[in-house]
Structure 1
Amino acid sequence: MDGLSPDDPGWIGNYRLLGRLGEGGMGRVYLARSDRGRTVAVKVVQEQLARKPDFRRRFAQEVKAAQRVGGEWTAPVLDADTEAPTPWVATGYVAGPSLAEVVDKQYGPLPANSVRALGIGLVRALQAIHGAGLVHRDLKPSNVLVTIDGPRVIDFGIARALDPAMQSTDGLTMTGAVVGSPGFMSPEQVRGERVSFASDVFCLGAVLAYTATGKLPFGTGEGGIHSLLYRIASEEPDLTGIPAPWDQLIAWCLVKDPSQRPSLETLSARIESMEDTGGAWLPGEVLAELGRHAVQLLNSEDPQSPQRLQSHALAAQAPPAGAAQPPAPAPFQGFGPPVSYDPAHSPPPPPWQQSPAPGGFHAGSPSPPPGSLHAGSPPPGSLQPSPHYFSPRPPARSARGLGIGLAVLLGLYTLPLLLRGAVLGEVYLRLDAQDGTASPGVIRDYGALNFATDALDALESALALALLILWPIWFQRMRNNADTFAPVRLRFAPGLAAGAWFIPFVNLFMPKQMTNDIWTATAGRARGAGRWLMHTWWWCWILYVLAYSNSFFSSWYSHDTVSAAMSDIIDTQITASTGVISAVVAVFFVKRLTSMQQKRIDEAARGIGTA
């Protein structure tokens, strides 16, 4: 990390800058700390790009798309202002070097257990990215950060949603939009063809080959970039030195035809089935370097108190008596929302609240006095909490006990439905032997059948009341855990997870929307993972609610004629049948969702990727 220069702002939005992490074609990346103390990485786009409306539109789309990606194996998007004079986005800071630094400078090729853990983490990161409808397009070692608890994938700056609007009329990537890094591009990227999820699988294979050998599977660009791109598009990879069975798996990922590459689900199963030698997922030398990096990060935290910083800033504004007033530096183009504070007790307004001067900063601009705030820095404590900032979520809690109790209760709920169906079947047969205009009371054992019907209705109501209590508790736990797995991805407030079930009409659609979000956050992808079970459960529930509403207000013995009583029995039997089916499907749904979340919780407890 480099220190801030005089032309760097001191604050961006609600984030105080600590230093520069890097600079690329899109803009600069800063290490920063939020007003709540969280360390983040803030990416600021170049001013010339910010002046292009088409770029702003794409940047805003990318930020919204990246917010749909969970943060377990990626750097989550925490905050952004795509409408600021200079747009920016803040992501969670990942404390660790890139995979390229580890392999090239720190250690060299990693051992098999490290490659296995890396492969598991990268596959799960891509599942989250693809689940949000994105193709990363630039998966390479410098975009994979190494941490103590596993790898993290970063840089969605060139990811594109799979939206026809981002493609030309023939479905190909628009001219000038071919993106990627030589050596880690897929053949379809090289040829400018349609880029799909399979492109990231190819890049994953190249990254794994590089990790295992320290070499690029298609060589370097020493012979010219066009020669490298030709080898990627037309020649077979050099997998010399890759141990079995990794050589076959990586070769499968590097197949030229995208349709012949393995799916992420297949890769996950194959990698997890490989032998785990145990121990830490990284060599000791790399772990020691991570520790030193953590110490440097702590030292980079602002060592001065807010009071001392403000006193320096105020002292720097007052020149000595008789001294000439130094020329004020040209204002720097603004970041984020305006900030208000009392000018009588604070430095002058920061540059992004002033009218931009032509030319911006220049080489002749004076540097701030030692110990003062950087140019454009408001006094500490003057910023209000950002409306886009999200505090860390509590850890996920096991719902295994709630799930078992709910499944048992649902099973018990089917008993009065089945028994009532048997009783009503007997009543129907006896009514069918009578004249249609007669009273239902003429049948044999009328009183006993009447009592049995009421008793079963009472038992069903008691079990339904227990379900009305336990179901929202379980569903609330599912929602809270999902918020931990994928922060800020759920559409409704936590309280609605329980309350929405009791709001008329709303309970016919809102719980399903929340269930979709919970399932996606738990599975880590927007498709598959047995999602059909969720849809089947929901429509069975809707049919039962509608049928129950139709038969709730009457009983067979309350009618004056046999024909009316028989019609009521038919409606009630339909309701009982849909209730039994709904309860059985709900048992499977509860068990599946609970087990999916328990698996995520167990993986977090074991520290998948760390052993």
Structure 2
Amino acid sequence: MQALCEDDPVRVADYRLLGRLGEGGMGVVYLARSPRGRMVAVKAIRRELASLPDFRLRFAEEVAIAQRVGGDWTAAVLDADPHAETPWVATAYVPGPTLADVVTRHGPLPERSVRGLASGLCDALADIHAAGLVHRDLKPSNIMITIDGPKVIDFGIVRALDGPTHGGLTSSGVIVGSPGFMAPEQVRGERLTAACDIFSLGSVLAFAAGGRLPFEAPEGRPHALMYRVVNEEPDLTGVPDPLLPLLRDCLAKDPAARPSLAALRERDETQFRHLGPWLPAPVLARLGQDAAQLLEQEDPRTALGDGALLPPPAPVPREETLGAPGPRPAVAGTAPVTAPDLPVSPGPSPTQPRTLAEERNGGNGPSPATVAVYIMLALYALVAVGATVKQLDMLESTFDTGWGFDEEIAWMWGYAQVATAVGLIVAWLIWCSRTRAAAEEFAPGRLRYSPAMAVRSWLVPFGNLYLPKQIANDVWHASSPPAAGGAMAPAAPLHVWWAFWLISAITSPLFWWWGAFEWATYDNFVRTRPDEYVYVLETNGLVALVLRLLVVPTTVAAAVYVHRLTALQQARRAAL
């Protein structure tokens, strides 16, 4: 990271800039700190690009599309303002060097590392293409190297530069993109498909394995590079022999001749066995040094000694701030772009920093929908327990009459169960809708069913015996932080809750007839004297007792499931 220049702003909207990460054709990338202290990468777009006709509209559309990209191999878009005087976009900061830096400093990567690189990049492109995007600018400087694998940045944003005016190649004398990694059809200005990313992938892997551009030209002259990309075969000198078939297939001039991404992911060259570190020792040492330097970065607002926050800085002159916070006009046809980590309500005062619990909960605690579910689960269980206690109390008791007693006692408890069940259903459907919407923030576009199905699936005959579980699995996994090896957090509470739900759903006809209303009918009373009856447990009464007792573990399992999923989503939201 480099220090800020004199003409760099102090802030971009709500983000305080700490230094420069790099500069490219679209603008300058800064390391910044969000209001909650998270490190982010903020790219400020060049003013000459922002002045191009329709640029802001296309930029806003591309940001909205890029927000759909999820997965472990890309840096997510967190916030943006295409309407600021200088448009900007904030993405998750990925600590580590770029692939270009690694190869320049340490030389070509060994074959094992190239296989790991190929595996991760194929997964990243799969996430990008699944969101309906073509990266169009896959190159070593857009690939960050981390201990867990490569991460692709700048996905989708470069599409905002494509148009009849500038064609995505040059603007005001600035080269946008990397000629040495463009596909031939991209150089010729033809319609681009996902195949152009396959060509760029081959160029990137050739660079990583051989330490040089596959279409290298003297002094790196752009026009010579583009000529060789279109007309000459790649120079794969230094590439290990086992990787040559893969690279030659990816670098085919004809897009139709290149393998599909699905076919690439099945090839042996892209398979990586996790039997140890995927990077050589010198690169791992570099990553450790970068992590240590990141920890040393200080926020100018933080005082030394007691850790208390200094008062907020005085208002910064307009020329020192880009995209000052304020209302942002919406773009027609696109959803508003907001930052998940920006507080939506006034937080603690600057002299009272948030506690860890407040940070994890977003400072708001359980949502009203979650609280309503807890309350209705408790009421539903209490009514079932109350009816059970009353039924047990009636055993061996003597009554003056048996006929009509159900209208006085059993039906009263039955109506209470119906009322609490209706309240629980309403609260549950609202909660399911909210949790499904939250999961969309963590894995945009990657869940199998639409948000509306989180509600409708419970009301589909027979479908409610399997559809809600599939949606619950998706929501749980999207809300769970990846564990070691990429596995999701265990979902035992989900399975226990679902097992009880299936039992309850299958036995519901018996429950609502015998368990609610028919457990104290005339058949359950035995006449001992002409005017006396004794209540006994006949078949319907015994079944009612068992089904009501089942309500207790069912509601407990549901409450545990709600608690765990809510905690997962609060932790994920706090980590954004």
Q: Same fold (TM over 0.5)?
A: yes
Q: CA deviation at 1:244?
A: 2.9
1:64–1:313 Cα change, 3 Å: closer
Deviations 1:542-589 (A, max 9, x none): xxxxxxxxxxxxxxxxxxxxxxxxxxxxxxxxxxxxxxxxxxxxxxxx
Partner of 1:257: 254
Deviations 1:103-154 (A, max 9, x none): 111x211111111111011011111111122111111111100011100011
- C-alpha separation in 2, matches of 1:488 and 1:249: 30
1:58–1:329 Cα change, 3 Å: closer
Computed over aligned residues only, the root mean square deviation of the Cα atoms, in angstroms, reads 4.7
- Conserved? CA contact 1:489–1:517, under 8 Å: no
- Partner of residue 300 from structure 1, selected from 294, 297, 300: 297
- C-alpha separation in 2, matches of 1:224 and 1:118: 27
1:518–1:332 Cα change, 3 Å: same
- C-alpha separation in 1, matches of 2:169 and 2:183: 17
1:482–1:251 Cα change, 3 Å: farther
- C-alpha separation in 1, matches of 2:48 and 2:472: 40
- C-alpha separation in 2, matches of 1:174 and 1:312: 41
- Conserved? CA contact 2:21–2:31, under 8 Å: yes
Normalising by structure 1, report the TM-score.
0.53
Normalising by structure 2, report the TM-score.
0.56
Tell me, yes or no, if structure 1 residue 248 matches structure 2 residue 245: yes
Partner of 1:140: 139
* 2:296 counterpart SS class: helix
- C-alpha separation in 1, matches of 2:91 and 2:263: 30
- Conserved? CA contact 2:311–2:350, under 8 Å: no
Q: CA deviation at 1:168?
A: 6.2
Quick one: which amino acid aligns to residue 501 of structure 1? S
Quick one: which amino acid aligns to residue 86 of structure 2? T
- Conserved? CA contact 1:69–1:128, under 8 Å: yes
Q: CA deviation at 1:242?
A: 1.9
Q: CA deviation at 1:472?
A: 9.0
Partner of 2:47: 47
Counting matched residue pairs gives 379
- Conserved? CA contact 2:10–2:17, under 8 Å: yes
Q: CA deviation at 1:220?
A: 3.2
- Partner of residue 288 from structure 1, selected from 281, 285, 289: 285
Q: CA deviation at 1:227?
A: 2.7
* 2:229 counterpart SS class: helix
Deviations 1:64-91 (A, max 9, x none): 1211111421110011122223221110
Q: CA deviation at 1:192?
A: 1.7
485-494 or 212-221, which moves further after superposition?
A: 485-494
Partner of 2:3: 3
1:477–1:309 Cα change, 3 Å: closer
- C-alpha separation in 2, matches of 1:313 and 1:481: 34
* 1:300 counterpart SS class: coil
Q: CA deviation at 1:217?
A: 1.3
- C-alpha separation in 1, matches of 2:143 and 2:136: 13
- Partner of residue 239 from structure 1, selected from 207, 230, 236: 236
Partner of 1:444: none
- Conserved? CA contact 2:74–2:153, under 8 Å: yes
The aligned runs of 1:220-231 (5 Å cut-off) are 220-222=217-219, 224-231=221-228
The aligned runs of 1:452-531 (5 Å cut-off) are 483=440, 486=443, 498-502=454-458
* 2:74 counterpart SS class: coil
Quick one: which amino acid aligns to residue 54 of structure 1? D
- C-alpha separation in 1, matches of 2:269 and 2:92: 28
- C-alpha separation in 1, matches of 2:317 and 2:279: 48
* 1:134 counterpart SS class: coil
Report the identity percentage.
Answer: 53
Unaligned runs of at least 5 residues, structure 2: 328-348, 363-424, 479-576
* 2:29 counterpart SS class: strand
Quick one: which amino acid aligns to residue 302 of structure 1? D
- C-alpha separation in 2, matches of 1:238 and 1:488: 39
Tell me, yes or no, if structure 1 residue 338 matches structure 2 residue 323: no
Unaligned runs of at least 5 residues, structure 1: 318-327, 340-379, 394-467, 523-611
* 2:219 counterpart SS class: coil
Tell me, yes or no, if structure 1 residue 185 matches structure 2 residue 185: no
1:334–1:502 Cα change, 3 Å: same
Quick one: which amino acid aligns to residue 115 of structure 1? V
- C-alpha separation in 1, matches of 2:361 and 2:227: 46
- C-alpha separation in 2, matches of 1:150 and 1:195: 28
Tell me, yes or no, if structure 1 residue 214 matches structure 2 residue 202: no
* 1:40 counterpart SS class: strand
